[in-house]
Amino acid sequence: MYLLRNTLRPYAWGSTTAIAELFGREPSGEPEAELWIGAHPGAPSALVPPVDGSETLDELIAADPELMLGADAAGRFGSELPFLAKILAAGAPLSLQVHPTPEQARAGYAAEEEAGVDRGARERNYKDGNSKPEMIFALTPFEALCGFRNPEEAADLFRAVNAAVTASGREVPELLEWIVAELSSGRPAPARLQSVFRTLINDGESVRGAVELAAAAAAKVPENGGYAREMSTLAELNGYYPGDPGVLISLLLNRASLQPGDAVYLPAGNVHAYLSGLGVEVMASSDNVLRGGLTPKHIDVPELLRTVDFRPLGIPYLAAEDTGAGQQVFRPPFEEFALQRLELAQGPAGSAGAALPAELPVLQHGPAVVIAVRGTIVLTSPAGSLALEAGDSAFLPAFEAPVTARLAADSAQHDDGALAFAVTVGTVPAGEADAPRLDIGA
């Protein structure tokens, strides 16, 4: 097992306090958006201390992929760790974005490579040939936009916006009237949603004017008014991204309000944006993001429209699976990763009222990473032991399985025990990976 030192990404949307508070340290005073735990080439975790000439996790794996990943994972994913874990702290909304399917990623990457588009270019869409499915587990109340809602529901929201515009003494723009009519047209749901999305994302002065007018009217809707939360979000998003078409696109999307312990998964084609909160994010190790608004960054509209799944979906919540070994595992329909929640205590009942174990086996399909977020745990393998305090993390190579996590003596003295998360390779067959579910409209 290998102790890791991870990179903290200071993106502007990051909270300045959430990650520091989680790990019980002083804030840096700067945005702390994401803590990356893994071997992604953009910020690979460092080995503490270096091992046999390898200073980072990606170098360690590349030196002997089959030993570190196991024969199965190495055969499926080559010499790369197929997942990346993050602690994500959104203090402000992230961009609307969508991720490609494996086929789209391979084709897009090959086309841009052949065209000679620099990998660091602003207009580059595909940084690699991998898809990027992901999931988020909420550590605090967490707000997100996630997938398209039923068009009739979206029409009701736009009617409420138009009513707010009228109440403010302004004339409702033709664009907003057209959106209500289009969403209510009775055509197949994906066609209606695509039509409105396409019109908004192509931007233009009429869109910008409608965004500003709608946001100003929404800001005046009282807290006990109709669709108060959506109206508040509309005004808030326009404050961050004035006139951005993503402000109105947000009304087409489901609003997911997660409580601590809730999780959602995000397959290819799912338009989403994180709005606020702290969580454990897990994804396939890829940089492929196509943005769809709420951003000053490049938006490739034609490629975006080819990538988006316009079918209305229910919020793709992900329930925990309790194994016979007492493990709490989240298995999204992706082959790259699965997440395990490890809550340990000595005697007292847990937050859900059930007695918690003082020791648990770590789920491991080949390699795994573990990060402690509360208390101290001790990882034990046939090769030795490693203690992790809050904020510490470790890489568990395939050859050291099986590994158990137990409560350290100092944490056993406290009622809140310890909490950690482990990420390992998923077990979903490739043919079933990324399969969209919860279709609610035709």
The answer to whether the CB of 281 falls within 8 A of the CB of 136 is yes
Question: How many Å apart are CA 285 and CA 22, to the nearest integer?
Answer: 25
CA distances from 296 to 75, 106, 204, 231, 292 (A): 40, 26, 15, 23, 10
**Helix, coil or strand: residue 303:** helix
Are 374 and 419 in contact by the 8 Å Cβ rule? The answer is yes
Torsion angle of alpha carbons 110, 112, 115, 116, nearest 10°?
Answer: -110
Q: Tell me the C-alpha to C-alpha distance, in Å, between residue 279 and each of 144, 201, 288.
A: 11, 29, 21
Question: Strand, helix or coil at 79?
Answer: coil
Give catalytic residue positions.
Answer: 291
Strands (E), 19-112: 34-38, 46-51, 54-56, 83-90, 97-98
Total number of residues shown for the chain: 442
Other Cβ atoms closer than 10 A to 255: 16
The 8-class DSSP code of residue 273 comes to E
Measured CA distances, 35 to 9, 11, 20 (Å): 6, 11, 11
For residues 237 and 294, give the distance between their C-alpha atoms in angstroms, rounded to a whole number: 8
Determine the straight-line distance between the first and last CA of the chain, rounded to whole angstroms. 50
Q: Which tokens sit at 322?
A: 């309790």
DSSP state, residue 95: P
Q: How many other CB atoms sit within 10 Å of the CB of residue 310? A: 24
Q: Tell me the two tokens of residue 300.
A: 């490739």
Are the C-beta atoms of residues 336 and 134 closer than 8 Å to each other?
no
In whole angstroms, what is the distance from residue 371 CA to residue 221 CA? 43
In angstroms, the CA 8 to CA 20 distance is 11
